[in-house]
Chains A and B, each alone.
Chain A
Amino acid sequence: MPDLTSDIYVFILAAFLGLEVIKRVSPLLHTPLMSLTNAISAISVVAAIELAGARHTTLSTVLGTLAVTAAFANVVGGFMITDRMLKMFKKRGPRP
């Protein structure tokens, strides 16, 4: 299993990069941060797509389709709600 080593390197580097980058996110934006990372980790939709489209067995197609649904709901919902929230953050509110 030669790829395991490189996978572990990738995981560790990504985790440290994540910790460093996310530490700098202003607490102001912690809710959008959560919805954005949630949308990003819904990248598991690609694995689900491969299951749903490869026609291995009925079981794998059914589970794959359900997984595509669940993950893609997060992709669509996650990015949309993040944008909806970020649009609201304004430095100066409109004066009445």
Chain B
Amino acid sequence: MSGWALSALIALPIAGAVAVAAVPRHRPGAARAVGFAAAGLAFLLAAWVWTAFRPGQSGLQFEERAAWVPAAGIGYHLGVDGLSVSLTALVALLVPLAIVASADQVKERGRGFVLTLLLLEAGLLGTFLAQDLVLFYVFWEAMLIPMYFLIALWGGPARRGAAIKFLLYTLSGSVLMLLAIIAVYLQGGRVLGTPTFDLPALLARPLGVSPAVEALLFGAFAVAFAIKMPVWPLHTWLPDAYAEAPPVVTVLLAGLMAKAGAYGLLRFCLPLFPDAVRAWGPLLASLGVAGILYGGAVAWAQGDLRRLLAYGSLSHMGFILLGIFALDVASVQGSVLQMINHGVSTGALFVLAGMLIGRTGQARTDAYGGLAAATPALAAVTLIVVASSLALPGTNGFVGEFLILLGAFQTHPVHAVLATIGVVFSAAYLLAFVGRIFHGPLRPELRGLPDLRPREYAVLAPLIAIIFWVGFVPGPLLDRSEATVRALLKPPATSTPIPAMASRPPRAPSVRRPAAPPNRDAVDPGPVVRP
């Protein structure tokens, strides 16, 4: 296993940012080119890591270790496993696309924008790769500052308030997590003999704290991650931030940053606090369902394009939360997959929203109508992305949501039923979204609006490709996460046998299997749970 790839992956965007800073200020095009080159290289590297990643192993791969602050037990420890390998690739994919999209959408200070975007990418990649609690926290918070500036400097009219609200909201959650991290470290020192912030080392033995303390520590971690996702009712920063950020940045907020929260729950909460997870999991699953229904209902009522999508995103994140805390292999697998899907589909939706707003300057849905006549390609692409977001069979969203619901039915049937109702909501607001904007008579002032330009095709094409690829061949993604997810749920809460899993012939993880994964068999009777 190579010991440089992940460090290089984090270093490339930082080097790119430095290179962008060296470009003269009045040449934003050159700055974008340099930034795209750096982000593109990072993507190639991430794609190579993704391909070279060996499925079937639950442990870390591409591991790198170095002493960082040995006096305090802080190490520089990077690695990918099934939870993070695809997310890393997603980050590396979306950022260069965002840089390309910013060419049309960011008019002022293009150089600073690209530079800040690259710093954000480094923070995001580090968050998904770090295996040391302090290192993770450093990246986790370091990405807040670029994001604050991206919203505050390039956002809409109410950007300052939205940016500071986002920053303070997320920070107040994560500082309590910092205290919990230190507490875990001190307690780990008592259990292990040597205090360390290294996650695998801390997981070697149970923490051995009382249930009350464990619940408290779990709560501190979970609140930090829940704010980032966000989970209802900690979502109130979301509509402002999503609506005020420049559309390209909203893509990253919804597509990537939200995933960091869900990823944190999987990476830290589940293994570190297994008992508290079992005790409080049902509550969190309920919050997930509440988010699905609340987000869906509120999205339906929104007149603002991006607020509609923002609440829709909240609703979809509810599925991911439900899947995680259903604590079933199928549901967690579904959540891991859905994290990628949500990143692609919601990311694409916000890219499209940005294209619409960039064309008309209007953010309200009632300013549009009948646009399909003027911009047929844009309308077609939107319909595909909406189908994916709706989880129609054949698209990526279907596989993810189906697995989540399948798993949740085993452990939390009531939650699953309610969540299925949420699918109806998403149909309602998403189809309303498409209907209000693209259907009906074409508004006269929208006549002559340009259709998709080559650069916009280039941004959308990879996303559409992934939507169908994952929809038809989810195997590569699911294979990569399966071993890790199984290991994660090892002393599992799933004491009841899982019919869907039990009916399937067991297989050796080391054998390379043909493209069609077993999960696809389970996926086929899908329409049963469709409304």
Tell me whether A and B are bound partners. Answer: no
Residues of A whose CB lies within 8 Å of any CB of B are none
Interface residues of B (CB under 8 A from A): none
